[in-house]
Amino acid sequence: MGLLDLPFIQNAIIGGILIAILLSILSLFIYLKNWSFINVGISHATFGGLAVGFYLGISPTLLGMLFAVIIGVLIGYISRKGNIHEDTSIGVLFSLSMAFGVIVITLSPNYNTDLFTFLFGNILTISRKDIIMLSVFTLVSIIFIYFSFRKIMFCCYNEEVAYVSGINTTFYYYSLIVIIAIATVLSVKLVGVILSSAMMIIPAAFANQFYWHYKGILAFSVFFSIAMVLVGIYISFILDLPSGATIVFIYSAMFVAVVALKKLLKKG
C-alpha cells in the first residue's frame, strides 16, 4: 500500500490544501492592513474557548469559534475606537484568554492529551467531518471575498476614503475579522493555536518578495502555501515529526532564505 492510499494521509492532504487556500487568501488582507499582531491575538485567544469546550465536554471547535469571534470583534472595536493603544489592548485580551484557558484546563475533569493537538497541531488527526466543515466555510468565505473583493481592497488601502465613497467600511472590517477568527480555529488541527497565525502572515509577505501587484501576491501566496503544506506533511510523516511545527518551520525557513538571498544579491 502506497502513502497516498492511507485514508488519514488522504484526509491530511485534502484538509491541508483547503486550509492553505483559505489562509493564504486571508494573508493578503492581513498583510495590507498590517494586522499581524491582531491575528496573533485572535489565534492565542482561541485557546480560552477550546479549554471551555474540554471543561464542559462540548465540541472545542465550536466553542473555540465563538470565543475567537468575540475576542476578534473586541480587538477590532478597541482598535477602531482607539481609547487604548492597539498593541496594549490586543496583548491584554489574548493574555487574559490564554490565562483563563490554562486555569479552566487545570480544573477540567475532561482533561486529556487531545489538548496537545489543539496547541501544536496534528494534521494526521483531521477527519472527514473536519474536511466537510472546512470545505463549507472555505467555499462561503471565497464567495463572499470574490463578490466583495474591490470593496475590501479599497478598505484595506484607505478606509477613510472608502467610507466617504459610500462603502460600509464597518461591515467589511468586522466581516474580515470574523472570517479570520473562524479560519484560525479551523486551522488548529493543522498547525495548532500557537502556530496558526504564521500561515496567515507569511504567505503574502513571502509573495511580496517577488510580486508587487495584489493579483500576483494572491496567486503566488496560494501556490506557495499549498506547496509548503504538502512538503510539510510528507516530511513530518517520513521523519515522524510534528506536522504543524514542520509546516511552519518550512514556511519560515523559505521566507528567511529568500530575504537573505535578495540582500546578498543587492550587495553583490
* Cell 466583495 sits on residue: 148
Residue 21 lies in a domain: no
Residue 9 lies in a domain: no
Structure confidence at residue 24 (pLDDT): 93
Structure confidence at residue 114 (pLDDT): 61
Structure confidence at residue 117 (pLDDT): 66
Residue 15 lies in a domain: no
Weakly modelled stretches of the chain, pLDDT under 70: 1-3, 82-87, 109-117, 194, 268
Contact 77, 178 (CB under 8 A): no
DSSP 128-157: HHHHHHHHHHHHHHHHHHHHHHHHHHHHHH
Structure confidence at residue 136 (pLDDT): 94
Residue 267 lies in a domain: no
CA gap 71, 44 in Å, rounded: 10
Residue 13 lies in a domain: no
pLDDT digits (tens, 9 = 90+) for 122-136: 777 788 888 999 999
CA gap 206, 99 in Å, rounded: 32
Structure confidence at residue 140 (pLDDT): 96
Residue 104 lies in a domain: yes
Domain that holds residue 101: 28-262
Q: State how many domains the chain has.
A: 1
* Cell 461591515 sits on residue: 171
* Cell 477602531 sits on residue: 80
Residue 191 lies in a domain: yes
Structure confidence at residue 48 (pLDDT): 81
- Surface-to-core class of residue 2, CB atoms within 10 Å of its CB (0-12 exposed, 13-18 middle, 19+ buried): exposed
Structure confidence at residue 115 (pLDDT): 63
Structure confidence at residue 7 (pLDDT): 80
Q: What is the CATH number of the domain that holds 164?
A: 1.10.3470.10
Residue 2 lies in a domain: no
In sequence order, the 6+-apart residues with CB closer than 8 A to the CB of 145 are 25, 152, 179
